[in-house]
Amino acid sequence: MLDLAIIGGGPAGLTAGLYATRGGLKNVTMFEMGMPGGQITGSSEIENYPGQGEIMSGMDLMANWPEQAMKFGLKHEMNQVSNVVKEGDIFKVTTADGNIQEAKTVLLATGSVPRRAGFKGENEFFGRGISTCATCDGFFYKGKEVAVIGGGDSAIEEAVYLSKICSKVYLVHRRDTYRAAPSTIEHMKACENIEEVTNVMVEEVYGDAMGVTGLKVKNRETEEIRDLPVPGVFVFVGRDVLNEPIKQEDGSFLCDVNEQGEVIVDLKMKTSTPGLYAAGDVRIDAAKQVVCAAGDGATAAVNIIEYIG
């Protein structure tokens, strides 16, 4: 039986694994279907991780985390957790291959996935000109024009990143003020090849058998339609939490969640179900920062060690 099953291998899961094993728990498995590192590995530029003064990619920031976390006995199982139930005091963790493992405690550190904006053509052209990862796909548009949709930190940061690869970036936002941090907006405004297209709704992304060839946006006041003939569209309109593993057969959740499906935790990262903890972006009020997710992971692990006794 596992002392702790960690679901997710991002900053929260890795840090929890490090603290749990170094703190004496013997059987700790981190389930992560991909390479450990988490969603941050898709970010092109990080400049706010304390102690790392240089701007670096998410991939570089996370490079040494898995090795450090595994040094004290954390095991990585490259598998997707499809479901967690609790029977008596024991959790049963089912993976995509149908295997079931028992655990005394579970930490949900699944994070979130990019949200779809809901415009015409989004699903049809997803992966064929529409992307949610500038680091992964930006290079395909070297020297070409692209559009970025959104007005938060992700959209503005990735627009700046793409402006260094692409000939021009249209920053398409539905309002004329941004949610992003002032310093990030300042960086963006200093980029000569970023054109802000604000106060517009995306009407449609269109294309042909080869992929995207452009998008149409509609001004919210004048209703004027503008055509942006670009082969690449990057969508950064927020994220949805990944709470699938704790969904139960009857549609309820294994613990309390809020209206957005975010897991409700206390200051110990404890959920309403004894032995079940949550950390990082999947929890309520997450600041959605690597440093906070890592802090959550450490907090959860310290309290899990105490819970197991």
Known catalytic residues are 133, 136-137
Are the C-beta atoms of residues 161 and 138 closer than 8 Å to each other? yes
Residue 288 lies near ligand NAP (rule: CB under 6 A):
yes
The distance of closest approach from Cβ of residue 112 to ligand NAP in the complex, given in angstroms and rounded to an integer, is 8
Query: Based on CB atoms, which residue is closest to ligand NAP, 86 or 173?
Result: 173
Residue 154 lies near ligand NAP (rule: CB under 6 A):
yes
Window of 51-59, 80-88, 123-131, 144-152 that interacts with ligand NAP by CB under 6 A: 144-152
Residue 48 lies near ligand NAP (rule: CB under 6 A):
yes
Query: Based on CB atoms, which residue is closest to ligand NAP, 103 or 233?
Result: 233
Binding mask 54-93 for ligand NAP (x = CB under 6 A): ----------------------------------------
Window of 91-99, 133-141, 232-240, 270-278 that interacts with ligand NAP by CB under 6 A: 232-240
The distance of closest approach from Cβ of residue 18 to ligand NAP in the complex, given in angstroms and rounded to an integer, is 23
Pairing label, strands 276-278, 100-108: parallel
What span, in angstroms and rounded, lies between the C-alpha atoms of 294 and 14? 8
Query: Based on CB atoms, which residue is closest to ligand NAP, 48 or 52?
Result: 48
Residue 239 lies near ligand NAP (rule: CB under 6 A):
yes
What span, in angstroms and rounded, lies between the C-alpha atoms of 68 and 183? 32
The distance of closest approach from Cβ of residue 300 to ligand NAP in the complex, given in angstroms and rounded to an integer, is 20
The distance of closest approach from Cβ of residue 216 to ligand NAP in the complex, given in angstroms and rounded to an integer, is 14
What span, in angstroms and rounded, lies between the C-alpha atoms of 179 and 162? 19
Are the C-beta atoms of residues 111 and 47 closer than 8 Å to each other? no
Binds ligand NAP by CB under 6 A, chosen from 50, 88, 98, 118 = 118
- Select from 96, 110, 88, 98 the least CA-distant residue to 6: 110
Query: Based on CB atoms, which residue is closest to ligand NAP, 7 or 202?
Result: 202
Q: Which two tokens stand for residue 293?
A: 């997710």
Pairing label, strands 130-131, 239-241: unpaired
- Binding positions for ligand NAP, rule: CB under 6 A: 48, 117-118, 149-155, 157, 174-175, 179, 236-239, 288-289
